[in-house]
Each structure stands twice: as structure tokens, then as C-alpha cells.
Amino acid sequence: MSDEATAATPYALDIGRVMAALPHRYPMLLVDRVEALVLDQSIIAIKAVTMNEGFFQGHFPGRPIMPGVLIVEALAQAAGVLAVESLGLAGSGKLVYFMAIEGAKFRKPVEPGVLLKLHVDFVQKRSSVCKFAGKATVDGVVVAEANFTAMIADPPKA
């Protein structure tokens, strides 16, 4: 997008566009849709947390709770979509790799049957390294937050 007014306009992405931006697939694809993406600024994405997720079988029987590391992974995937869209990397083959997680906090358990809303903002954007601030909410209540850094790079050689 060329002019600032257009670049600052939020837009949504369906699962097809999410899958075009991320290499992840079931069972590791943790972003179901994007409600609002503002290039170079922020993203709000959704993960529908359902009982048929495999991790609920063992985490924990009788008291299913989404593992915190998967909530952070969902935030990182939302950040990956933001980076790919903002840097124009869709179809380039480039991947967004996690480099660091800082200040992760888990405030409330996430149970099946909720929509996990993933809010991620750019903190710093460069061509190969980006920093993000993310928070996950359920019904407007913060359930987790973290700051993280990612690297844009070519995939490993096969």
C-alpha cells in the first residue's frame, strides 16, 4: 500500500490468507483468522480454542487448560502474519523465526470453548529482525502477555 491513509486502514484476513502467510499447518497452526491488521503497526487475530485440540487430553485430564507455551506460540504466529504482510514477504519463501521471549506472564487459565484474541504490536521493525509486544485476551480480560523478537530468514536447506 502506497499512501499512509491506506496503510493505516485495518483489514481482515481469512484462514486462506493466514495459511499463505504462515508455513504452520494442523495441529500447529494457532491462528484461525485476522480481525484487523494495520500494516507496520498491529494485528488482532483469533484462535478458537476447542475441546478437540490434542493437548487437552493430557493438559489436564478433568481440568483442560491450554498450555501457556501454546498461547505464546499463537501470539508469535500472529506476529508472523503481521511481519509477512507488512514486509511484503508473502510467497517469498522467507520464514519468521522466534529468537527471544521476554516478560511472559500468564494471568488466567484458557479453557476450551473460548475465542482467544491475540493482540500484537510492532515495537521495532527492521528488514531481518523485528520486536513485538503481545497480549492474549478472553472476553476482554488479559490472560497472557509477552514481548518477543523474531528473525526473518530463508528456510533451512533440505
The residues carrying an active-site annotation are 59
Compute the distance between CA of residue 116 and CA of residue 133 in angstroms, rounded to an integer: 16
Q: Which of 113, 151, 147, 112 is nearest to 130 (CA)?
A: 151
How remote is the C-alpha of 122 from its chain's centroid? 12
Compute the distance between CA of residue 135 and CA of residue 129 in angstroms, rounded to an integer: 20
Beta strands (DSSP E) in 3-110 are 11-13, 33-38, 42-49, 95-106
Length of the chain: 158
Contacts (Cβ under 8 Å, ≥6 apart) of 17: 34
